Chains A and B, each alone.
Chain A
Amino acid sequence: MIERNLGLTIFCHAVLLVGAAVVCLPLYFAFVAGSLTLQEVQQAPFPWLPGSHFLENIAEAWNQGNFSRLYINSLIVTIGIVVGKLTISLIAAFAITYFRFPFRMTAFWLIFVSLMLPVEVRIIPTYEAVADAAGPLRWFFGAIGVSGFVESLTGYRLEAALQWNMVNTYGGLILPLIASASATFLFRQFFLTVPEELCEAARLDGAGPVKFFLDILLPLSRANIAALSIILFIYGWNQYLWPLLFTTDANMQTAVLGLKGLVPVNDAAPAWNIAMSAALFVMLPPAVIILLMQRWFTKGLVDSGK
């Protein structure tokens, strides 16, 4: 039954047009501001149309913010997060759904508990953990008396060897961000829906766990992996608080941090044209991914509830 309701149709289009306009408003003005000179950006009625200095400003922002380096940092950290988290989660989920072993439920609950605390609420202790990743090992060896033993045996101080500072390293930027089990949980949920017959058949044919995982489970998970990769890519690229804490060296900053550094603060010359050009190219990679892979992206989001 087709029904026509012209008034409501017009109203709906109007609502969506206004919504789309509000979404685009900051992006459009970022583009306009990014195409003006420093004088033009400060004039009283802000111009509605872009100026002619867009490419200049982009180049200026790129050099001023050292983005050749920061972009590479961001890419390394983001890809590290995506690949690291997917790999660790896939094999851990495989272990807890397809293996019977002692303490299986303990392992499950240890993983499950980590879903409870977002990184934001344990900022400082995690900072300490990353600043001194070997601390727990030192404490452990000290507690069981190994270090004294080793020292007396070889004259070598174990404490000195166990200094492992992860501040300003890619590891320090990546590892804490993959220390959450959301993806493991998601893959576990998916593995539980995989038909039992597949594993039975594989075992009858003499396939071991590794072969089953690589040849059957992994190809079946392709859609989930693709969807989750997109969510994780956006998550990784857009990280701000972590890199802010863990990088003191300007060369180890990520692109988002570099952008923040270009934003004029109260008493500086208001170089918003440079900051806005930088904003445009820093948000570009995740935006392109969302536009090109919208289908996978919505699937990943609705499935993971993340």
Chain B
Amino acid sequence: MPDSNAAAGIGRASSRAPLTLGLAMGRLLPKTSDSGLKTAHFRKPGIAAALLAPQLLILLFFFFIPSYKALSLAFVQVDPFGAKQIFVGFANFAQLLGSADYRQSVVFTLWFTIVQAVVTIVLALLFAFATDFIIRGRGIYKSVILMPYAIAPVISGVLWAFLFNPAVGPVAQFIHSLGIPWDPNRRPFDAQLLVVVASVWKHICYDYIFLVAALLAVPQSLIEAAKLDGARPVRRFFTISLPLITPTIFFLMVMNVVYGLFETFGIIDAVTRGGPAGATNSLVYKVYQDGFVQLNLGSSAAQSVILMIVAILFTILQFRALERRVNYQV
């Protein structure tokens, strides 16, 4: 049964992407000094240096030096006028871990990230399954569901802040008419819920694209065989497609967590500004708040260092996930 709609977008991408990925992943990380080098290559160190120079210079100035500075700032205390720096060892970290604000921020960030990641992947799976099952109208549904990818997180935040604005927002008015109290400016849980909704809305499209591509790549022969054995579509999805796309799901969960941790600054800034009373002060938002608004550089740098460690862990996870993502190739 040839798929008549496969020509639209994702079909193309999926038929080629796993192939290039599959070829590339074997060489994802070089193991010896010669790997990742073409057999037919040039031996002109001068040209190579000139070609690499822009990249390395930019990394030096905007990556390595700032990262080094973050590390060194985390261990000093800077007075508010920026005149003196005193080495204080781990005092910034001790103070940070002892502060109730920071613990509140950690708890909110964990809660928010996990809820957001799970809700996003479940809804995206539902949409991807539905898209995979139907034949008519696929292209239109895809185009619409993809739209939020184009919208900046901060704009997504502004849109949802308006919909749920307790004074003028249409959805908030609807909630009020049901007799349910709603005010994200005062009630912490309402604010947290609103941040989750805006983040999920913005991110479903991402998971959806990958899942639709992964479902298209499930070998048709397996599906046909199950059909002959009398398995119904839902059963086939849970016993064949889902196990085969678990590498993609794992990859997406990692990406969802990374998104929740690091990329939701704009949403939080637009929807709640970390409030009410710090209820939505995520870790990244707190770095900005403490460093730029309250000018507590030492604490902010210590927070950056903790985030760096988390980011490094997740990058490693992400690469492992990326390597496993090709496993569904039968």
A: which residues have CB within 8 A of B? 1-3, 5, 8-9, 11-13, 15-16, 19-20, 22-27, 29-30, 33, 41-42, 44-46, 87-89, 91-92, 94-102, 104-105, 107-108, 110-112, 114-118, 120-130, 133, 136, 175-176, 178-181, 184, 188-194, 196-197, 199-200, 203, 208-210, 234, 237-241, 244-245, 256, 259-260, 263, 266, 270, 272, 275-276, 279, 282-283, 286-287, 289-291, 294-295, 297-299, 301-303, 305
For B1-42 the 0/1 string (1 means CB < 8 A from A) is 100000011101110110011011001111001001111111
Q: Establish whether residues A122 and B73, one from each chain, have CB atoms under 8 Å apart when the complex forms.
A: no
Q: Establish whether residues A295 and B13, one from each chain, have CB atoms under 8 Å apart when the complex forms.
A: yes
**SS of B interface (majority):** helix
Contact of B163 among A13, A29, A298 (CB under 8 A): A29
Q: Establish whether residues B36 and A97, one from each chain, have CB atoms under 8 Å apart when the complex forms.
A: yes
Q: Establish whether residues B20 and A107, one from each chain, have CB atoms under 8 Å apart when the complex forms.
A: no
Closest residue of chain A to B42 (Cβ to Cβ) is A209
A298 to B127 Cα, complex, angstroms: 16
Pairs across A and B, CB under 8 Å, 21 listed? A15-B127, A23-B144, A26-B201, A46-B173, A96-B36, A101-B43, A102-B45, A104-B48, A112-B29, A117-B63, A122-B63, A181-B55, A188-B36, A192-B36, A238-B152, A256-B154, A259-B158, A260-B269, A290-B147, A291-B143, A295-B13
The 10 closest A-B pairs by CB, nearest first: A238-B152, A179-B62, A101-B45, A99-B48, A12-B130, A46-B170, A92-B55, A125-B66, A26-B159, A125-B69
Contacts of A33 in B (CB 8 A): 162
Distance of A298 from chain B, by nearest CB (Å): 4
Q: Establish whether residues A23 and B40, one from each chain, have CB atoms under 8 Å apart when the complex forms.
A: no
Q: Establish whether residues A179 and B59, one from each chain, have CB atoms under 8 Å apart when the complex forms.
A: yes
Given A46-B170, A124-B291; A298-B9 close (CB under 8 Å): yes
Q: Establish whether residues B130 and A124, one from each chain, have CB atoms under 8 Å apart when the complex forms.
A: no
Q: Establish whether residues A23 and B201, one from each chain, have CB atoms under 8 Å apart when the complex forms.
A: yes
Q: Does B244 contact A (CB under 8 A)?
A: no
Q: Does B315 contact A (CB under 8 A)?
A: yes
Q: Does B297 contact A (CB under 8 A)?
A: yes
A266 to B161 Cα, complex, angstroms: 12
A123 to B165 Cα, complex, angstroms: 30
Contacts of A30 in B (CB 8 A): 159, 162
Q: Establish whether residues A2 and B1, one from each chain, have CB atoms under 8 Å apart when the complex forms.
A: yes
Given A15-B130, A122-B67, A181-B59; A283-B41 close (CB under 8 Å): no
Given A104-B33, A193-B24, A305-B322; A260-B154 close (CB under 8 Å): yes
For B149-167 the 0/1 string (1 means CB < 8 A from A) is 1111111101111110101
**SS of A interface (majority):** helix
Contacts of A118 in B (CB 8 A): 258, 262-263, 311
Given A117-B312, A123-B304, A256-B155; A263-B270 close (CB under 8 Å): yes
Distance of B130 from chain A, by nearest CB (Å): 4
Q: Does B266 contact A (CB under 8 A)?
A: yes
Interface size class of B (residues with CB under 8 A): 35 or more
A2 to B224 Cα, complex, angstroms: 10
Distance of B194 from chain A, by nearest CB (Å): 12
A270 to B163 Cα, complex, angstroms: 13
Closest residue of chain A to B160 (Cβ to Cβ) is A26
Closest residue of chain B to A213 (Cβ to Cβ) is B51
Q: Establish whether residues B307 and A121, one from each chain, have CB atoms under 8 Å apart when the complex forms.
A: yes
Which of B86-94, B96-104, B112-120, B228-236 participates in binding chain A?
B228-236
Given A5-B232, A16-B141, A46-B173; A283-B155 close (CB under 8 Å): yes
Contacts of A129 in B (CB 8 A): 61-62, 65-66, 69
A124 to B70 Cα, complex, angstroms: 8
Q: Establish whether residues B58 and A175, one from each chain, have CB atoms under 8 Å apart when the complex forms.
A: yes
A42 to B209 Cα, complex, angstroms: 38
Contacts of A295 in B (CB 8 A): 8-9, 12-13
Q: Does B287 contact A (CB under 8 A)?
A: yes
Q: Establish whether residues B153 and A192, one from each chain, have CB atoms under 8 Å apart when the complex forms.
A: no
A38 to B102 Cα, complex, angstroms: 40
